[in-house]
Amino acid sequence: MNSYTLFQICLLMHLSGLTLMAGTDIVEFVAFRNILKNYQTNKDAAVHQIGILSKLSVLLLIGGILLVLSGTGFLIITHNAFGSQLWFKIKIIFVLGLVLNGILMGQKSENRLKQSLMTGNIAKTQQTEDAIRAMIRFHFIQLCIFFIVVLMAVFKFN
């Protein structure tokens, strides 16, 4: 297989991984906004929807694996041609920002939401709504970072 074909395969994997990850974030952002509205009128349906959303994490994992493998493939195929360019270094910082935001803000918000749902009493309603709002903020920030990452890859300034 020649390097052009390998590059095309890596590009397909990269775009697929990006689509899985960003698409999942879009779905979760929209869903949590809807869940917040539903939670105020039908708590059981909202809790059920949150349970369904928790199964989407496998798509994030698959997308992340595809991005890492294809990114590594790009670096190998191009002999690290992008690695020394300013746009790439800035892009990698934002990619790390995605990961750190997911670990720090995403996990914290998700754990707070799960904890507030487990207690389930009326006094915790405001706490649960705040946790849902935190998930909405988290996904909005992730989407903004994804946009910046794609912008950096498209315009490749130096």
Residue 77 clears pLDDT 80, i.e. is over it: yes
Summarised one tens digit per residue, pLDDT across range 99-150 is: 999 999 999 999 998 888 777 666 678 888 999 999 999 999 999 999 999 9
Instruction: Specify the pLDDT at position 47.
Output: 86
Instruction: Specify the pLDDT at position 59.
Output: 95
Instruction: Specify the pLDDT at position 117.
Output: 79
- Burial tier of 24 (Cβ tally within 10 Å: 0-12, 13-18, 19+): buried
Instruction: Specify the pLDDT at position 120.
Output: 61
Instruction: Specify the pLDDT at position 64.
Output: 93
pTM of the predicted model, to two decimals? 0.90
Beta carbons of 140 and 99 less than 8 angstroms apart: no
Residue 13's H or E segment, with its range, is helix 3-41
Domain ranges of the chain: 3-155
Summarised one tens digit per residue, pLDDT across range 36-74 is: 998 888 888 888 899 899 899 999 999 999 999 999 999
User: Minimal CA–CA distance to 142: which of 102, 108, 90?
Assistant: 102
